[in-house]
Amino acid sequence: MSEKIAIVTGAAGGMGRAFVAALMGDGVKVAGFDIAKDGLAEMQSTLGARFLGLAVDLTDAKAVAAAFDTVEQAFGGVDILVNNAGTCFMSEFPNIPADEFQQQMALNFSTAFYCCQSAVPLMLKRGGVKKIINISSNGAYNFDVFDPPPYRASKAALDTLTKDLARRYARDKICVNSIAPAMTETPLFGVLSDEVLAGAIAQMPHGHAMQPAQIAGWVSFLAGPMGDVSSGNVIILNQGRDVR
């Protein structure tokens, strides 16, 4: 079997580092995209030549296209794309500045859209079953917790992109799925006040947040051969919190 090549966005963040570790542990070569140069440089020094860290602002469509070109030249193509870069801006509706709203949609949705636009033509040149894994959020489905509406909407848009591309490219063997986690312990917890964070963790049925490595196991599963049979699904990971 030929060596697989993955791109992970938001690679230097809490989830991203776990995804890079899991995929590299599976024998996949990984290119990590992030705006955080220092984090990428630190990863590059420990992960070696099977990792390629590229500093890129993924809200810039031209920069995204250039980064994919660099990966194609360095590694020869792309088999797996994990659209993970994102954040949650916390201004509460209706007092959300227009630029914050636009930045939320750009960061959580447009980045993934641009990456898919660059990834699909490269994937169509590859053999085997290719994978796009979009990191969504329970926030698109659970209305009991804190998430502001632009965050929910950005992830709902992402999940619709998942279904569109899954349908569009099924016969081209590109599987597209979303993983929608609930509270997972990463630096993103820093956007929440202590009170909101404690309340959200208290709603988790196991009484604690999930760990990035647990979400990474699902990314690894979807990226591997057992994932070949799943496309167009939104996989909710939340310890059973929202079962009604």
* Contact residues for ligand NAD, defined by CB under 6 A: 10, 12-16, 34-36, 57-59, 84-88, 107-108, 135, 137, 181, 183-184, 186-188
The question of whether 169 is a catalytic residue gets the answer no
Cβ-proximal residue to ligand NAD, closest one: 13
Q: How far is the CB of 173 from ligand NAD (least distance, A)?
A: 26
Calpha distance 244→139 (Å, rounded): 16
Place of tokens 């081209």: 172
Q: Which is nearer to ligand NAD, 14 or 227 (CB)?
A: 14
Place of tokens 């994937």: 123
Cis peptide, bond prior to residue 150, ω within 30 of zero: no
Q: Which is nearer to ligand NAD, 34 or 79 (CB)?
A: 34
Q: How far is CA 69 from the centre of its chain?
A: 20
Q: How far is the CB of 133 from ligand NAD (least distance, A)?
A: 11
Q: Which is nearer to ligand NAD, 142 or 228 (CB)?
A: 142
Identify which of 234, 226, 223 has the alpha carbon closest to the alpha carbon of residue 7: 223
Backbone angles phi, psi at 6, to 5 degrees: -120, 150
Q: Which is nearer to ligand NAD, 2 or 117 (CB)?
A: 117
Q: Which is nearer to ligand NAD, 59 or 160 (CB)?
A: 59
Record the tokens describing residue 100, joined without a space: 């914050």
Q: How far is the CB of 54 from ligand NAD (least distance, A)?
A: 10
E strands along the chain, which residues?
A: 5-9, 29-34, 51-55, 80-83, 130-135, 174-181, 234-237
Record the tokens describing residue 177, joined without a space: 């799925």
Task: Report whether 137 contacts 200 (CB < 8 A).
Answer: no
Q: How far is the CB of 194 from ligand NAD (least distance, A)?
A: 16
Q: How far is the CB of 46 from ligand NAD (least distance, A)?
A: 16
Active-site amino acid positions: 151
